Chains A and B, each alone.
Chain A
Amino acid sequence: MAESIEMEIQTATEAAAKPNFKPLKAHEMSDGKVQFRKVSVPPNRYSPLKKAWLDIYTPVYDQMKVDIRMNLKSRKVELKTRADTSDVSNLQKSADFVHAFMLGFDIPDAVSLLRVDELYVESFEIKDVKTLKGEHLSRAIGRLSGKGGKTKFAIENSTKTRIVIADTRIHILGAFSNIKVARNSLCSLIMGSPAGKVYSKLRSVSAILA
Chain B
Amino acid sequence: MATARDSGLEALEKLKSTEPPVFLAPSSISEDARVASQYLFTKLKPYNPKSPFDKLLVDGFDAEQIWQQIDMQSQPLLSNLRQELGALLGDGNEDAEKLRMPRYKDFFGGKKETKMTFNDGIEDEEAGNENQGNGRLSTHEKDLVKLQSKIKQMEKANLDPKHWTMQGEISAAKRPKNSALEVDLDFEHNARPAPVITEEVTASLEEMIKSRIIEARFDDVQRAPSLPTNSKREAKELDDSKSKKGLAELYEEEYVQKSNPAFAPATFSDELKKEASMLFKKLCLKLDALSHFHFTPKPVIQEMSIQTNVPAIAMEEVAPVAVSDAAMLAPEEIFAGKGNIKDESELTQDERKRRRAKKKRKFKAEAAGQPVKKAPKRKPVDEKEPKGSVVERCLLIQ
Q: Smallest distance from the beta carbon of A137 to chain B beta carbons, Å? A: 24
Residue of B nearest to A206 (CB): B236
Answer whether residue A108 sits at the interface, using C-beta atoms and an 8 A cutoff.
yes
Mask, A159-179, CB within 8 Å of B = 1, is 011100000000001110000
Q: Is the CB of B242 within 8 A of A175?
A: no
CA distance A59 to B235 in the complex (A): 40
Chain A residues within 8 Å of B247, by CB = 108-109, 112, 116, 119, 160-162, 173-174
Mask, A87-112, CB within 8 Å of B = 1, is 00000000000000000001011011
Q: Is the CB of A175 within 8 A of B251?
A: yes
Chain B residues within 8 Å of A85, by CB = none
Of residues 224 to 250 in B, which have CB atoms within 8 Å of A's CB atoms? 235-236, 238-243, 245-250
Q: Is the interface of A mostly helix, strand, loop or mixed?
A: helix
Q: Is the CB of A112 within 8 A of B251?
A: yes
Given that A108-B247, A112-B248, A115-B248 are contacting pairs, would A160 and B242 also be in contact in the complex, using a CB cutoff of 8 Å? no
Pick the contact of B239: A116, A153, A173 (CB < 8 A): A153
Q: Is the CB of A203 within 8 A of B248?
A: no
Answer whether residue B254 sits at the interface, using C-beta atoms and an 8 A cutoff.
yes
Report, as a range, how many residues of chain A touch the other chain: 20 to 34
Looking at A153, A173, A202, which has the most chain B CB atoms within 10 Å of its CB? Answer: A153
Chain A residues within 8 Å of B254, by CB = 160
Q: Is the CB of A160 within 8 A of B250?
A: yes
Chain A residues within 8 Å of B246, by CB = 106, 108-109, 111-112
Chain A residues within 8 Å of B252, by CB = 115-116
Q: Is the interface of B mostly helix, strand, loop or mixed?
A: loop
Q: Is the CB of A207 within 8 A of B238?
A: no
Chain A residues within 8 Å of B245, by CB = 108
Q: Is the CB of B236 within 8 A of A108?
A: no
Q: Is the CB of A160 within 8 A of B240?
A: no
Residue of A nearest to B246 (CB): A108
Answer whether residue A157 sits at the interface, using C-beta atoms and an 8 A cutoff.
yes
Chain A residues within 8 Å of B250, by CB = 112, 160
CA distance A158 to B241 in the complex (A): 11
Of residues 125 to 151 in A, which have CB atoms within 8 Å of B's CB atoms? 146, 149-151
Answer whether residue A29 sits at the interface, using C-beta atoms and an 8 A cutoff.
no
**A residues at B contact (CB < 8 Å):** 106, 108-109, 111-112, 115-116, 119, 146, 149-151, 153-154, 156-158, 160-162, 173-175, 199, 202-203, 206-207
**B residues at A contact (CB < 8 Å):** 235-236, 238-243, 245-252, 254
Given A109-B248, A116-B248, A154-B239, list of 6 further CB < 8 A pairs? Answer: A112-B247, A154-B240, A160-B251, A199-B238, A203-B235, A203-B238
- A-B CB contact pairs (8 Å), 26 listed: A108-B245, A109-B247, A111-B246, A111-B248, A112-B246, A112-B247, A112-B248, A112-B250, A115-B252, A116-B247, A116-B252, A119-B247, A151-B240, A153-B240, A153-B241, A154-B239, A157-B238, A157-B239, A158-B239, A160-B247, A160-B250, A161-B247, A173-B247, A175-B251, A199-B238, A203-B238
Closest 3 CB pairs of A and B: A108-B246, A112-B248, A112-B247
